Amino acid sequence: METTAPTAPTLNYLNNGYGLKSWLLTKDHKRIALLYLWSITAFFFLGGFFALMIRIELLTPASDFVQPDTYNKLFTMHGVVMVFFFLIPSIPAVLGNFLVPIMVGAKDLAFPRINLLSWYIYVLGGLFTIVAAVTGGVDTGWTFYAPYSTSASNSHVILAGVGIFITGFSSILTGLNFIVTVHRMRAPGLTWFRLPLFVWAMYATSLIMILGTPVIAITVLLVAVERGLHLGIFDPALGGDPILFQHLFWFYSHPAVYIMILPAMGVVSELVQTFSRKNIFGYSFVAFSSLAIAVIGFLVWGHHLFVSGQSTYAGLMFSLISFFVAIPSAVKVFNWTATLYKGSISWDSPMLYAFGFIGLFTIGGLTGLFLATLGMDIHLHDTYFIIAHFHYVMVGGAIMGYLGGLHYWWPKITGRMYPEGWAKFAALNIFVGFNLTFFPQFIVGYLGMPRRYAMYAPEFQIYNVLSTAGATILGAGYLIPMIYFTWSLKGAAIAGDNPWGARGLEWEIPSPPPTENFPASPIVTENTHQYAPSREVGIV
Amino acid sequence: MSGHVAPKTMYYFVFAALIVGTGLTVLVAFFDLGVFNNILMLSIACAKALLVILFFMHVRWSSRLTWLVVASGFFWLIILFGITMTDYLTRGMVPGTPR
Amino acid sequence: MSDAPPRYHPPPVAIHPEGHAPTPHHPWLQHHFDSMEQQAEASTLGMWVFLVTEIMFFGGLFMAYLVYRHQSPMGFQEASHHLNIYWGAANTAILIVSSLTMALAVRAAQTSQPAKVQVRWLLATIFFGLCFLGIKAIEYTDKFRDHIVPGAHFQWEGLYPKPAEQFYSLYFAMTGLHALHMIIGIGIMAVIAFLASRKTFDSDYYTPVEVAGLYWHFVDIVWIYLFPLLYLIGRHYTPGGH
């Protein structure tokens, strides 16, 4: 709509105060989001480094690159770093922190100082984990099952456990902040059903953070106590029950995977609307499906315990309910597809990530049903099929959603437009690399290759070689946005308030936004995402 | 800002009820009533907790949202307890599976 | 042209062009809130959400208790029998009194009572909290003396040594975590009492007192469940009988 080149606003949150103190003591949710962006990116590449080591070892059937003990540490640290320090915080802490106050029309989150505290807590927990990694690592697997973790392992379990415990509080405080903000700080006229779907997704995610994280906190505390004081809580040799550990661990860790995917689904809901220039099909269904996933996700954890010694009837029940949890996810996929139908689709890079998400999440989710089937899981448990399944949803799903959101809102966050050609190239690179890495793992897992083994039968080698080749391409693909995003901060074109022509409160304010977001509280009179004329005003 | 102001006597009544409840639960513990020991003990504890929540914590006069938050917390606890116990209580029911 | 999707409509929201003129407001109103009422509602909701996380945190320990008591009901009763029910009951009463004094402190602030009245109730709450911790210290020392602290030096002369050790592991974990929360609570009360002494709280602004009170009452509620589950289940236990 503008005929002159856009200019950046003179005073915005980025230049409102310079110096380390103005960043490290900031209360501005947008600056805190950037603090998280840098630390989360650092952890992503740390976890990626461990992944690279794993894939190099798996090029050959023998354990020749690293010893098996070291290999155990590699996959453990890869899992711990990626799950607790990248996937769980990523979208909520970066995009959620930045956007939720703006999307509800507020000046900041409900508790800005607690927001800053949550970042410091995250960094502190991360430091503990890094120290554990460099002083020898942990070899229990990211799931640190007892009694190995409590009694037999010789690695730095307590140190890493403390790191995870501390970081859990960061998650809790973020969720708390979002819940109170959405309930109590919406602008006048902004009813629940006028909220962007991204906010619904963040709200549902926050519910899971609040209700689930404390349980893993107490579990890791008990592991540390048992390990330190030789008590018999989980170790059967001391009279404990190892299955109790698994119940407590997975009560959080299954809903945790919904913490990882729901925000990405929220991003995709936004992208699909903007880049097909249509209102979402079935807004309330998509909104409620986020809540349904959050709630039902708490009822299915026993599907991780099918072969553990859990009772058969409990297994049956968990299997049945696990099928139900797929339904709200399917509702979303159907509604996104219906939104695309007869939309005016543009193939900008964020949309490429959205398409990638929809396809890859569908594959990952459907393979989850294989695993939810009690009989099949007996065969597939602890094989590469599981690994392929969760990487499809977590990498093909969650990370694609994160990257899509990062690209979509990058002009808003920085005021700069990244180079679109390179972004498209990177997206395709990531898509190809990802599928080459993880699709062979479905096959080799189904054929029986177990997970967490440095050595494997020689007939599996071809699949592993393909997978490592894919991982190399994927890793290169992730580096490309790092480069052009960094370059764009100074070298790229200025973005203007609304480079995508999108709807939403965040696109009504300058890019980058001023510190207080809005000069005065906006008054909302209809759904903030209206691409089609609303029925009340008649056909345009 | 406003908030419901309860008369002091209300607090003293609730306090008295809590003390009586404590005495009652201690007394009941000395008798062997079989399964009712547990039932009575937990019922009295729940009643005491409810008194504290409704009156000392002002939930009686709080918004529906507050009530919902409190209820969800306890409900989620029931989910944790209930579903986990379905495992332990049904062990060994299928022949050949672990007890 | 008529087939083309509609152009970007004017924003559906009105962003008032005039800036935010500084209006006089309460000194304790934080700037991202529009009113004291909104701030108070947000703070109380925030504390309630935090208490839900505390419910789930303690809940994990209660889950362990449930499983192990289900597995060894007699062993748990025998172990519980060894606890001193009178200390436990006294502590329960002490915490209930402290909840009363806390609730009256909140009410004092809510009704703009003089600062020294507010402080008096808060100090009373702290006093009873310290009494509680004192009794717990006595109980813990007794356990050390009787060698029923789980770990290397645990010695149990009764019939069910393994369940007894599990029971006492849970006893120390649950009451220890509870005591830690009490200590933090006393620290919070000290800060609130200090602020109250500087005439900070009145009917316009007493949210910190209320929110601290919510925390304190929650810690009381945890004990309301801990006391019967730990101290009362073995009251009529006789060895070899039921």
Residue type, C85: I
Cβ-Cβ contacts under 8 Å, B15 against chain C: 96-97, 99-100
The pLDDT of residue A535 is above 70? no
- Nearest residue in C to A498, CA atom: C8
Could you tell me the CATH superfamily of domain A26-507?
A: Cytochrome c oxidase-like, subunit I domain (1.20.210.10)
Average pLDDT of the segment spanning C101-124: 96
Beta-carbon contacts of A313 under 8 Å, excluding residues fewer than 6 positions away, are B86, B90, B93, B94
CA atoms within 13 A on the CB side of A58: 32
Q: Which pLDDT value is given to residue A421?
A: 96
Average pLDDT of the segment spanning A230-258: 92
The pLDDT of residue A89 is above 80? yes
Chains touching chain A at 3 or more Cβ pairs under 8 angstroms? B, C
- Nearest residue in C to A234, CA atom: C64
A536 pLDDT band, cuts 50/70/90, is very low
The pLDDT of residue C1 is above 60? no
Please choose, from the candidates A196, A252, A180, A262, the residue with its C-alpha nearest in 3D space to the C-alpha of residue A219.
A252
Q: Which pLDDT value is given to residue B4?
A: 84
Is the model more confident about C242 or about C231? C231
Beta-carbon contacts of C14 under 8 Å, excluding residues fewer than 6 positions away, are A522, A523, A525
Residue B70 touches partner C, C-beta closer than 8 Å: yes
By percentage, how much of chain B surpasses pLDDT 90? 77
Cβ-Cβ contacts under 8 Å, A244 against chain B: 84
The pLDDT of residue A166 is above 90? yes
The pLDDT of residue A327 is above 60? yes
Tell me whether residues B87 and A183 touch, CB distance under 8 A.
no
Q: Which pLDDT value is given to residue A4?
A: 54
Q: Which pLDDT value is given to residue C24?
A: 72
* CA of A514 vs chain C CAs: smallest distance (Å): 13
Phi, psi dihedral angles at A259 (to 5 degrees):
-60, -35
Q: Which pLDDT value is given to residue A5?
A: 62
Phi, psi dihedral angles at C208 (to 5 degrees):
-60, -35
Chains touching chain B at 3 or more Cβ pairs under 8 angstroms? A, C
A11 pLDDT band, cuts 50/70/90, is confident
Could you report the per-residue pLDDT of C133-177, keeping only the tens digit for each? 999 999 999 999 988 888 878 888 888 888 999 999 999 999 999
Q: Which of A244, A298, A311 sits opposite B97 (nearest CB)?
A: A311
The pLDDT of residue C2 is above 80? no
A8 pLDDT band, cuts 50/70/90, is low
B12 pLDDT band, cuts 50/70/90, is very high
Residue B24 touches partner C, C-beta closer than 8 Å: no
Q: Which of C16, C61, C150 sits opposite A218 (nearest CB)?
A: C61
* CA of C236 vs chain B CAs: smallest distance (Å): 6
Q: Which pLDDT value is given to residue A237?
A: 84
A127 pLDDT band, cuts 50/70/90, is very high
C17 pLDDT band, cuts 50/70/90, is very low
Tell me whether residues A215 and B80 touch, CB distance under 8 A.
yes
Cβ-Cβ contacts under 8 Å, C85 against chain B: 26, 29
Mark out chain A residues that contact chain B at CB-CB < 8 A: 183, 211, 215, 243-244, 247, 251, 298-299, 302, 305, 309-314, 317
Q: Which of B73, B80, B90 sits opposite A313 (nearest CB)?
A: B90
- Nearest residue in A to B92, CA atom: A311
Tell me whether residues B31 and C232 touch, CB distance under 8 A.
no
A540 pLDDT band, cuts 50/70/90, is very low
- Nearest residue in A to C4, CA atom: A344
Contact between A103 and A517 (Cβ < 8 Å): no
Beta-carbon contacts of A367 under 8 Å, excluding residues fewer than 6 positions away, are A385, A388, A389, A392, A442
Tell me whether residues B91 and A299 touch, CB distance under 8 A.
no
Beta bridge partners of C13: A524
Is the model more confident about A318 or about A155? A318
- Nearest residue in A to C17, CA atom: A519
The pLDDT of residue A377 is above 50? yes
The pLDDT of residue C3 is above 70? no
Please, what is the Cα angle at C78 between C76 and C80, to 5 degrees?
65
The pLDDT of residue A134 is above 60? yes
Looking up tokens 């074109």, which residue turns up?
A493
Cβ-Cβ contacts under 8 Å, C232 against chain B: 25-26, 29, 41
Could you report the per-residue pLDDT of A504-529, keeping only the tens digit for each? 999 999 989 999 999 888 888 887 77
The pLDDT of residue B60 is above 80? yes
- Nearest residue in B to C71, CA atom: B88
> Distance (Å, rounded) from C-alpha C202 to C-alpha A373?
60
The pLDDT of residue A533 is above 60? no
Model ipTM over 0.90: yes
Tell me whether residues C150 and A523 touch, CB distance under 8 A.
no
Domain residue extents for chain A? 26-507
Q: Which two tokens stand for residue C21?
A: 């003129």
Chains touching chain C at 3 or more Cβ pairs under 8 angstroms? A, B
Q: Give the rounded distance of the alpha carbon of A35 from its chain centre.
A: 17
Q: Which two tokens stand for residue C201?
A: 């709280």
C20 pLDDT band, cuts 50/70/90, is very low
* CA of B97 vs chain A CAs: smallest distance (Å): 7
Beta bridge partners of C202: C205
- Domains for chain C: give ranges and CATH numbers: 58-232 (1.20.120.80)
> Distance (Å, rounded) from C-alpha A104 to C-alpha A112?
15
Q: Which pLDDT value is given to residue A88?
A: 97
C83 pLDDT band, cuts 50/70/90, is very high
Tell me whether residues C163 and A239 touch, CB distance under 8 A.
yes
Q: Which of B45, B57, B73 sits opposite C228 (nearest CB)?
A: B45
Q: Which of A183, A299, A311 sits opposite B90 (nearest CB)?
A: A311
pTM, rounded to two decimals = 0.94
Average pLDDT of the segment spanning A357-385: 96
Please choose, from the candidates A493, A527, A498, the residue with its C-alpha nearest in 3D space to the C-alpha of residue A510.
A498
Average pLDDT of the segment spanning A102-129: 96
Cβ-Cβ contacts under 8 Å, B89 against chain A: 311
Number of CB pairs < 8 Å for A and B?
A: 45
- Please classify residue A511 by burial: count the beta carbons closer than 10 Å to its beta carbon, then call 0-12 exposed, 13-18 middle and 19+ buried: buried
Tell me whether residues B49 and C225 touch, CB distance under 8 A.
yes
Average pLDDT of the segment spanning B48-74: 95
C46 pLDDT band, cuts 50/70/90, is very high
Tell me whether residues A219 and C60 touch, CB distance under 8 A.
yes
Tell me whether residues C53 and A172 touch, CB distance under 8 A.
yes
Mean pLDDT for chain A?
93
Q: Which pLDDT value is given to residue C11?
A: 47
Tell me whether residues C85 and B49 touch, CB distance under 8 A.
no
Average pLDDT of the segment spanning C10-25: 52
Residue B12 touches partner C, C-beta closer than 8 Å: yes
Please choose, from the candidates A167, A169, A197, A156, the residue with its C-alpha nearest in 3D space to the C-alpha of residue A86.
A167
When mean pLDDT is compared across A42-46, A62-66, A288-292, C219-223, the lowest value belongs to A62-66
The pLDDT of residue C18 is above 50? no
The pLDDT of residue A1 is above 50? no
Residue type, A447: L
Average pLDDT of the segment spanning C41-53: 96
When mean pLDDT is compared across A213-222, A252-261, B86-95, the lowest value belongs to B86-95
Q: Which of B2, B52, B58 sits opposite C99 (nearest CB)?
A: B52
The pLDDT of residue C8 is above 50? no
Q: Which pLDDT value is given to residue A529?
A: 76
Tell me whether residues B93 and A243 touch, CB distance under 8 A.
no
Please choose, from the candidates A499, A338, A470, the residue with its C-alpha nearest in 3D space to the C-alpha of residue A408.
A499
- Nearest residue in C to B13, CA atom: C100
